[in-house]
Amino acid sequence: MTAQAATTHAAPADAAPEATAPPPPRRAAAPPPLSRRLARRFATPLSFVFAWAVLLGLWELGAAAGWFSDRILPPPSQTIPFLLAGEATVGFGTQRTGLMEAISVTLVRISVGLVLGLVAAIGVAFLILQVKLLRALVLPIVQSIAPISPVAWVPFAIAIVGIGDPAAIFVVFMAIFGSMCCAAVAAFDSVPQEYRKVARSLGAGTAEMWRTVLLPAAAPSLMTMVRMSFFAAWMAVLAGEMAGINSGLGYLIIMGQQMYNMKLVMVGIIAIGVVGFALDRLLLVAQRRIVWWEDAQ
Amino acid sequence: MNVRLTAPGEAPAMPATRTIATPNAAVEFGRVTKTFGDVTAIEDVSLRVPAGEFTVLIGPSGCGKSTLLSLAAGLEAPTEGFVTAHGREVTGPSRDTALIFQQHNLFPWMTTEANVAYGLRSRGMARREALARARELLAMVGLSDFSKKPPTALSGGMRQRVALVRAFATEPTLLLMDEPFGALDHQTRKIMQAYLLSTWRDSGATVVMVTHDLDEALMLADRLVLFTGQPGRIAETLDIAAPRPRSRDDPGLREIGARLERHLAAAAEAAEFTEAERARLASR
């Protein structure tokens, strides 16, 4: 059987190199209509303010109309002056601590616990991925620790390191370490095999693989995991502070309850909401900067 | 005689004379069997890939073609038999071997130039030098303007072009491609095929490519290896000596194409339907 030796029909479309004018990049699509862009830009902050204004207005109205007791649910007109006058304090004399101290004490505990938990979780996840035996030995333990309620650790924490910062940090750490570690293992496991194959065939060693492929590829999941853990850390530290670690925002609220000072409780709750929301937004900004190639929500 | 066919019965092993005649095999599979758990992906496959040639593996899905590439790349080890590259047994990934997949697998967290520089950096080249070389290589394929952009800013064809440049940057002697253009549209695919051919000719590398696309196989291959599944075995090997660029209207190629088409259709049907279903369909 013979094929034409020189079948140079030179089908030009086949052989021509790609035209010099490149197709437009995918990102540069036509901008969405103005109304949509405006909505995206302002809807969130505007609706945020509006929703709160409606709720607070109804609250004030309800208290004024006597639908509920203003001693149990103090309306904004009582809470805000109380907050601004700096009366949201607990303790007397030299032991007297204000709202700002309570916030900073709690925030330090959260931050230190979160950073320690993150480092430990990624470290243990690294070992679990690198050493097959550890996946069998360590991962089941981590998975068993994850669902334990952080408050359950409080007695241990107080017995071992006493009341105060170390106990609170320990509680935060225990609250987030297990779930963070499981999530980190899952994040590293789900890095596409092809990325690893490509990196290996391009000559990457183990250290380089972790630094340039596994960590960046898992970074979006890891950042989401940090934000989720931040909420868990808030809840854990407040629970701990209410259950015997006698300082911080949780303690402030529990003292408000014991002194039947609902304005104090309300101020504590507002502080938690405002600070928590602000920090989550900060984390979101950080997430968008760190994993710039992903579209974080 | 530009097209040499091996009779189906002659397969799977290459004739002995041929074995001796080509000692410069870039890759050699010697009676390779690979099983994953209970599944036998490939069974008793012997194949020599001569250095500098363009070999295309074609066959129904699930016939173990991709497994062969993984074995040649050193990402998997054979259950039985041996795999050598340039006369040495393959024990792990080699710096002389590059891999390309259907998905471009560019790292989205790196700029285009950093992606291309990745292999150079892994080989110890200084960062600035590697990036400069990457820009040079990108300029050669008309992508200068995109060197600082992330891969997400590129079109599908451009990304696959960058993946090719990244693979060729380290000047591999063996290029393993697993359906490299499978995700591209028809026109882009033809452009990429032409680009691949010219790059390959300049590099002198050995190419082993897996494809489902018969047309692509006929346009590119020096040698076509036809597989049956499952487990994967070599059904037939044939050399195509028609010079490039080839035409789709070449009667010799068309004849081979028609015959391979029938083979692939039968193999696909065998893979998709059970014996009983086929009997039921036939009785209608």
Which of A202, A287, A294 is best to mutate for the B interface (most B CBs within 10 A)? Answer: A202
The answer to whether residue B137 scores a pLDDT higher than 80 is yes
Higher-pLDDT residue of B274 and A124 is: A124
Alpha carbon distance A106, A230 (integer Å): 12
Q: Is A21 on the interface with B (CB under 8 A)?
A: no
What average pLDDT score do residues A106-110 get?
A: 94
The answer to whether residue B62 scores a pLDDT higher than 90 is no
Worst-scoring range by mean pLDDT, A51-65, B2-16, B108-122?
A: B2-16
Worst-scoring range by mean pLDDT, A177-191, A225-239, A254-268, B244-258?
A: B244-258
- Which two structure tokens, joined as six digits, stand for A35? 């109304």
**Min distance A214 CA to chain B CA atoms (Å):** 11
State the alpha helices, DSSP H only, in A98-138: 99-130, 132-137
Coil, strand or helix: which one is B59? coil
Alpha carbon distance A210, A190 (integer Å): 14
Higher-pLDDT residue of A112 and B195 is: A112
- At B98-114, the pLDDT tens digits run 888 888 899 999 999 99
Chain A stretch 166-205, residues whose beta carbon is closer than 8 A to a beta carbon of chain B: 192, 194-195, 197-205
ipTM computed for the complex: 0.73
B-chain residues within 8 Å CB-CB of A198? 99, 101, 105
Rg of chain B's alpha carbons, rounded to an integer?
A: 20
- At B70-104, the pLDDT tens digits run 899 888 899 999 999 888 888 888 888 888 888 88
Cβ contact B243–A26 (<8 Å):
no
Task: Say if residues B234 and B187 touch (Cβ distance below 8 Å).
Answer: no
What average pLDDT score do residues A268-294 get?
A: 91
Identity of the amino acid at A236? A
Chain A residue with minimum CA distance to B169:
A202
Worst-scoring range by mean pLDDT, A16-25, A101-110, A117-126, B275-284?
A: A16-25
Q: Is B248 on the interface with A (CB under 8 A)?
A: yes
Confidence of residue B250 (pLDDT cuts 50, 70, 90): confident
**CB–CB contacts below 8 A, A to B:** 143
**Min distance B90 CA to chain A CA atoms (Å):** 13
The answer to whether residue B20 scores a pLDDT higher than 60 is no
Helix axes B127-140, B112-122, angle to 10 degrees: 120
Burial string for A92-117 (b: 16+ CB within 10 Å, else e) reads eeeeebebebbbebbbebbebbbebb
Omega before residue B231 within 30° of 0, cis: yes
**Which among A194, A212, A293 has CB closest to B150?**
A293
- Which two structure tokens, joined as six digits, stand for A7? 């079948």
Cβ contact B103–A194 (<8 Å):
yes
Confidence of residue B142 (pLDDT cuts 50, 70, 90): confident
Chain B stretch 250-269, residues whose beta carbon is closer than 8 A to a beta carbon of chain A: 250-253, 255
What average pLDDT score do residues B229-244 get?
A: 84
> Which pLDDT does position B41 carry in this prediction?
87
Q: Of B159, B121, B114, nearest to A216 (Cα)?
A: B114
- At A54-64, the pLDDT tens digits run 999 999 999 89
The answer to whether residue A9 scores a pLDDT higher than 50 is no
Coil, strand or helix: which one is A3? coil
Helix axes A76-84, A262-290, angle to 10 degrees: 80
What is the percent of chain A where pLDDT is above 90?
A: 43
Report CA A144 to chain centroid distance, whole Å.
Answer: 22
Confidence of residue B4 (pLDDT cuts 50, 70, 90): very low
Chain A stretch 205-264, residues whose beta carbon is closer than 8 A to a beta carbon of chain B: 205, 208, 212-213, 216-217, 219
> A24: which DSSP letter?
P
> Which pLDDT does position B149 carry in this prediction?
92
A-chain residues within 8 Å CB-CB of B251? 3-4
B-chain residues within 8 Å CB-CB of A14? 190, 193-194, 219, 245
- Which two structure tokens, joined as six digits, stand for B124? 């110890």
Task: Say if residues A142 and A122 touch (Cβ distance below 8 Å).
Answer: no
Task: Say if residues B257 and B218 touch (Cβ distance below 8 Å).
Answer: yes
Q: DSSP characters for B124-146?
A: T--HHHHHHHHHHHHHHTT-GGG
The answer to whether residue A98 scores a pLDDT higher than 80 is yes
State the alpha helices, DSSP H only, in B123-250: 127-140, 156-169, 186-203, 214-220
Alpha carbon distance A105, A111 (integer Å): 10
Alpha carbon distance A212, A40 (integer Å): 34
Q: Is B170 on the interface with A (CB under 8 A)?
A: yes
Alpha carbon distance B76, A196 (integer Å): 13
Cβ contact B243–A23 (<8 Å):
no
Q: Is B14 on the interface with A (CB under 8 A)?
A: no
Helix axes A215-242, A165-189, angle to 10 degrees: 150
> Which pLDDT does position A40 carry in this prediction?
67
- Which two structure tokens, joined as six digits, stand for B137? 């290589």
